[in-house]
Amino acid sequence: MNAFILPKMTWPEVKEALKTAEVALIPIGAQEQHGHLIAEGCDSYRAEAFSARLAEKCFPKVIVTPTINYGISPHHMDFPGTITLRPETLINLLEDIVSSLNKHGIKKFLFVNGHGGNNAPMAVAAENIARKYDVEIGHTLFVRAAKNTIKEEIHSEYFGHACEREVSECLYMVPEIVRKDRIEKADMYDSFTVKYAEDNYVTLVHQFNELTKNGNLGDPTKGSYELGEKIIEEALENISIFIDEFIASKRS
């Protein structure tokens, strides 16, 4: 066994793993549209695959829980197939997972998120749960750990959803969910909503079909396996460094 993946383990194997595994990784994804080019489970597949690779890299210090396959996706609900949770549902689910594993002796957790819409409730959950159960929790939109590669390689004005970055990650980790014959540049609106949808000094609540006609951002035709490898390997390296420091840290 070169990675501790909880749903694939028997309870005696888990008991043995907990002698060395000090951090539980909780992958969080979403069920939502990703344009014409990526299957709707994209964020869950990516979070799960990334967590499994991280578990191998950090073996035997971490254990990976089952993936949360739904997220906060009301802004995608105009596209068929999207399923969204209420923020309080995700918060409660994370609490139940952490409280259960805490009973088995785990005191450190990392929420490994693949969907930007989960960021706010995930942060609220981490704050509340850490204090309620006296545990330590980190949380990450894992792709942000590849900021150098993204800065150097991604040049679209708007990106972050079924774009060159995300399709590259999929081509590297889960190529079977990419419809290679349907990869196309985003068909964006030129509108007030697009300008303030995110990453501006004001963020406007919006629906995704107010931004793009075909459901994606950026120019995924520029994506590649090689770019995905650079993004994911940088993120793995940086987050594995965090895990080593997280385990070594002693809170006062």
Predicted confidence (pLDDT) per residue in 33-42, tens digit: 999 999 999 9
Mean predicted lDDT score pLDDT of the chain: 97
In this structure, whether the domain defined by 4-248 belongs to CATH 3.30.2320.50 is answered with: no
pLDDT band at 1 (very low <50, low <70, confident <90, very high): confident
pLDDT at 252 over 60: no
Cβ proximity of 113 and 140 under 8 Å: yes
pLDDT of residue 77: 98
Q: What is the pLDDT of residues 80-105, one digit of tens each?
A: 999 999 999 999 999 999 999 999 99
| 40-48 average pLDDT score | 98
Output the pLDDT for position 213.
Answer: 97
CA 109 vs CA 59, 62, 102, 240: distances in Å: 15, 9, 10, 13
Closest CA to 224 of 154, 184, 171: 171
* Residue 110 contacts residue 140 (beta carbons within 8 Å): yes
Mean pLDDT, rounded, for 61-87: 98
Question: What are the Cα distances from residue 209, in Å, to 72, 184, 188?
Answer: 16, 16, 9
Beta 62-64 vs 4-5: how paired, if at all? parallel
Q: Is the pLDDT of residue 200 over 90?
A: no
Total-model pTM:
0.97
